Chains A and B, each alone.
Chain A
Amino acid sequence: MIELKNLTVRIEDKMILKDVNLHIAHGETIALFGPNGSGKTSLLKTIIGIPAYRVESGRIFFDGADITELTMDERAKLGIGIAFQRPPAVRGVKLKTMLRICMEKRGIFNEDKINEFAHKLNLHNCLDRDINLGFSGGEIKRSELLQLLAQNPKFIMFDEPDSGVDLVSIHLVGKVINELLEKEKLASKRTKAGLIITHAGYILDYVNADRGCIMLNGTIICSGNPRDLLEDIRTKGYEECVRCLK
């Protein structure tokens, strides 16, 4: 579904991604690990197309088409979605307005559906609030998922969906991520794909990832069974990754 080929990215003069290669197939879910500042969020922001993340070399392909030069909205329309880790508050723009926008861009708008999604994520009381303004950490995470339910993308990136979320909420977050990624279907029948950044790996107790990747200094240094990788990180830390590379 999505393929990054030798991707090198700068913000102004600083190189933040170096020669990244990654392929995520239809139906596949990848967990992305890495210490703070390793480039995980930068990778997601590059894929969604934030202009400050300038691709210096390499290409991004989505369903076979080169999307490296496309704008953010063009990528969104193709079916790429993202749950931001720290989205901005937009004063005066209601959560409900955002959901309407997400749905209308798909050519549909169904008020009942919006209410159903909002109830599912326990956000029905937030629909008439300015988006993210005064939202709790958990509300922000759930609001991002709510927008994705309305948007229904094919390839979905989740930037730390489990950070700052309490145990009750994380269960709900996991459930909705599974729904977004069609986990209820047989693996062979799934069409959606996901990329999940997780620090502590809590979300992996609820969402089954097919593969894990570790990012260090802007490069994906290894991949493997996500649970094994997480166990290694928990017991040995990223220092072991650094030693392993030497």
Chain B
Amino acid sequence: MSKVSPREMAKKAEKKPSAIGPDIDLNAYSVEAKEHGKIQRLKDLSGEVKEKAIHVGVDAEEACRSGSFFQMDHSVILSSAYKSGLEVMSSTEALKKYDWLPDYWWKAVNVDADKYTAQAELKQNHGYFLRALPGAKVEFPLQACLYMTQDGLAQNVHNIIIAEEGSELHIITGCTTAPRVRTGLHIGVSEFYIKKNAMVTFTMIHNWAEDVEVRPRTGAIVEDNGIFMSNYVCMKPVKTLQMYPTAYCVGENATVRFNTILFAREGSKMDVGGRVFLRAKGSRAELVTRAITRGGDIITRGHLIGEVPGIRGHLECRGLILSEKGSIHAIPELEGRVNNIDMSHEAAVGKIAEEEIQYLMARGLNSEEATSVIVGGFLDIEIKGIPEHLKREIKKAVRMGDEPLM
């Protein structure tokens, strides 16, 4: 029997709605975009673009970055690695360059999962290919920015990230829109392959416009002693955001950690989860979410599936409701399929305790200042195992998004 190609599978799923999240009429968005010219370095970006990019973690000076990828609408305007052992290019270019790449194409995410993955296959507009060669360890992160300038555009990217054996790769990726953009659709497929003894830290910062719809589709396969740490920050308005990144711990002692920070204003609907299949002895997962609503609706999901003895997993979700309107719905799921596993969860949703505000007021802060300090602390997830400068970057992104709260 001949093997069915991803394209054929995608065609069958073209109209398949996502299992969760509001449905989107894909025809409402244009798939045609004008071409943008290439640039040599990020400092060549216009002031306006630079300003927006900085807010999603992009270092326009590239002083503390080991490589950059910048995609504007459907055009890859920059892709460069500045350190040896790293590869940065568009995923379409990588497909042409490496005949082995199909082995990584739609292997961590199902092409026919829903109409969004199908569209990413059928109407792909590049995306990035980032790879650390065996043993390569680079202190400074690679950065990638997906930028939308055209109102009403659908941007369908497919990213592949490979950390070869014994390598270490830090990535900061920011997705944002030009100031005049109101509506749009961003579909981002990201497939991670973390080989033996490799480590990937991936920090994704989203900063969309109020009427943009966002459907990331992420999968990660983690081998023996591999580490995958994914940090996701979305502090700005978005119309609808639905994602449920899934990691597969297939190697012994594979480790996965998802940190998620969400802030939803009125009109924003976020449905964000994290799922980890613990399939090998000694594998571990920790999922930590902080969600704040000031009028928006947040569903925060977590799902751990323990498939072999000797695994450990923990889910933690804390939600703060700061206004009369808005909701937070925490859905933690633990699924143990064998005995001798250790999985747990804790979830708490509520408002800031009056007693905590008063405690800070007794030290001289007014009510707004006290609230701001408590919210700042609430968002300050202790991110273990990543370089100090990356921690600072994440804190900076959270602080930037947090400004209206202060």
Within 8 A of A (CB), among B352-391: 353, 355-356, 358-367, 369-370, 373-374, 376-380
Residues from chain A with Cβ under 8 Å of B377 in the complex: 90-94, 97, 130
Taking a contact as CB atoms closer than 8 A, the residue among B318, B358, B367, B373 that contacts A101 in the complex is: B373
Interface of A is mostly: mixed
A186 to B379, CA, bound (A): 48
With A97-B373, A101-B373 as known contacts, state yes or no: A76 contacts B378, CB within 8 Å: no
Taking a contact as CB atoms closer than 8 A, the residue among B359, B361, B379 that contacts A84 in the complex is: B359
Is B373's CB under 8 angstroms from A76's CB?
no
A82 to B360, CA, bound (A): 11
Is A151's CB under 8 angstroms from B359's CB?
no
Is A92's CB under 8 angstroms from B380's CB?
yes
A91 to B373, CA, bound (A): 11
Number of A residues, CB within 8 Å of B: 26
A151 to B321, CA, bound (A): 31
Is B360's CB under 8 angstroms from A151's CB?
no
Within 8 A of A (CB), among B319-376: 353, 355-356, 358-367, 369-370, 373-374, 376
Within 8 A of B (CB), among A56-86: 71-73, 76-77, 81-82, 84
Which of A73, A81, A87, A151 has its CB near the most chain B CB atoms (within 10 A)? Answer: A73
Q: Does A48 contact B (CB under 8 A)?
A: yes
A173 to B111, CA, bound (A): 65
Number of B residues, CB within 8 Å of A: 23
A95 to B201, CA, bound (A): 29
Interface of B is mostly: helix
Taking a contact as CB atoms closer than 8 A, the residue among B363, B369, B380 that contacts A102 in the complex is: B363
A88 to B363, CA, bound (A): 13
CB distance from B136 to the nearest CB of A (A): 33
Is B364's CB under 8 angstroms from A77's CB?
yes
Is B358's CB under 8 angstroms from A98's CB?
no
Taking a contact as CB atoms closer than 8 A, the residue among A51, A94, A101 that contacts B363 in the complex is: A101
A91 to B346, CA, bound (A): 14
Is B374's CB under 8 angstroms from A90's CB?
yes
- Mark each residue of chain A from 213 to 232: 1 if its CB lies under 8 Å from any CB of chain B, else 0: 00000000000000000000
A55 to B318, CA, bound (A): 36
Residues from chain B with Cβ under 8 Å of A97 in the complex: 373, 377
Which B-chain residue is minimally distant from A87 (CB atoms)?
A: B359
Is B363's CB under 8 angstroms from A151's CB?
yes
CB distance from A105 to the nearest CB of B (A): 4
Is A105's CB under 8 angstroms from B362's CB?
no
Is B363's CB under 8 angstroms from A105's CB?
yes
CB distance from B315 to the nearest CB of A (A): 17
Which B-chain residue is minimally distant from A72 (CB atoms)?
A: B361
Taking a contact as CB atoms closer than 8 A, the residue among B359, B360, B363, B378 that contacts A91 in the complex is: B378
Taking a contact as CB atoms closer than 8 A, the residue among A48, A90, A92, A94 that contacts B362 in the complex is: A48
Of the A-B pairs whose beta carbons lie under 8 Å apart in the complex, a sample of 30, sorted by A's number, is A48-B362, A51-B358, A71-B366, A71-B367, A72-B362, A73-B361, A73-B362, A73-B369, A76-B361, A77-B364, A84-B359, A84-B362, A90-B356, A90-B374, A92-B376, A92-B379, A93-B373, A93-B374, A93-B376, A93-B377, A97-B373, A98-B360, A101-B360, A101-B365, A102-B364, A105-B364, A130-B377, A147-B363, A151-B363, A151-B364
User: In the complex, given contacts A73-B367, A90-B356, A93-B360, what are 12 additional A-B residue pairs having Cβ atoms less than 8 angstroms apart?
Assistant: A48-B362, A51-B358, A71-B366, A72-B361, A73-B369, A76-B362, A91-B377, A92-B378, A92-B379, A93-B374, A97-B377, A101-B363
